[in-house]
Amino acid sequence: MTIIIDDAGIGDLLFGVVIGAFRSRTQEFRYEIIDVKYFRSQRFNRKEYLKQASMVVFKLLGKLKLKPDEPIHICKGYIFDEAAKDLTRRYGDNRIFRVKVTGEPQHLTEIAYLDEIRNLGYSPLKERTEKRAKNFFHMMNWLKKNPDKLRYAKTGWPRLSRYRLFRSYHQVRSKECTK
């Protein structure tokens, strides 16, 4: 048996990030969320989401009741850099493998993320992974029409200050953070 860990939503403007864990032999799947607050200004700049990703991975392994000597395949994405180091410290080099996740584990994690953003009232583009820029602007335009949903936006990226929608949000949030 092998546990496969993947993420979805890290590059998207909306919501936090879904981390999924899949046991290949039994097809068991669980997921947890890294809250969007870790992708906003101060926490984002301090890369607190990396520590959160590690904590979520260990939580998921606990839920799946990791078996002794069961290998863990973890996505190569940078969000798992700290998690991979922590896993290696705890379980050793011979159990942890950085991989490109494909197939069912990737699909289930992506579906979990899409379900979460649909719960916000957002309808994702069908070709969202193939057309990243179009996806970003689709999400941004949805936020313009639904400004009450800005609290679900990842606003920590410095380049977002180029857009009027996020300029005022950045100013308000940075004032709140200094109080």
Q: What is the pLDDT of residues 24-46, one digit of tens each?
A: 999 999 999 999 999 988 899 99
Q: Is 143 exposed, middle or buried (0-12, 13-18, 19+ CB in 10 A)?
A: buried
Query: 1 in helix, strand or coil?
Result: coil
Residue 152 has pLDDT above 70, yes or no: yes
Q: Which residues contact 81 (CB under 8 A, 6 or more apart)?
A: 50
With contact defined as beta carbons under 8 Å apart, do 113 and 124 qualify?
no
Domain with 138, as residue range(s), is 1-179
Q: Is the pTM of this model over 0.75?
A: yes
Specify the DSSP element, H or E, that contains 61. helix 48-63
Of 62, 66, 83, give the one whose Cα is nearest residue 2. Answer: 66
Instruction: Please give the tally of structural domains in the chain.
Output: 1
Residue 55 has pLDDT above 80, yes or no: yes
Q: What is the pLDDT of residues 109-132, one digit of tens each?
A: 999 999 999 999 999 988 776 677
Q: Is 178 exposed, middle or buried (0-12, 13-18, 19+ CB in 10 A)?
A: exposed
Residue 176 has pLDDT above 80, yes or no: no
The strands making up 17-23's β-sheet, listed across from edge to edge, are 28-34, 17-23, 3-8, 72-75, 96-99
CATH number at 96 reads: 3.30.420
Q: Give the pLDDT of residue 125.
A: 86
Quick one: average pLDDT of 3-22?
Answer: 96
With contact defined as beta carbons under 8 Å apart, do 1 and 21 qualify?
no
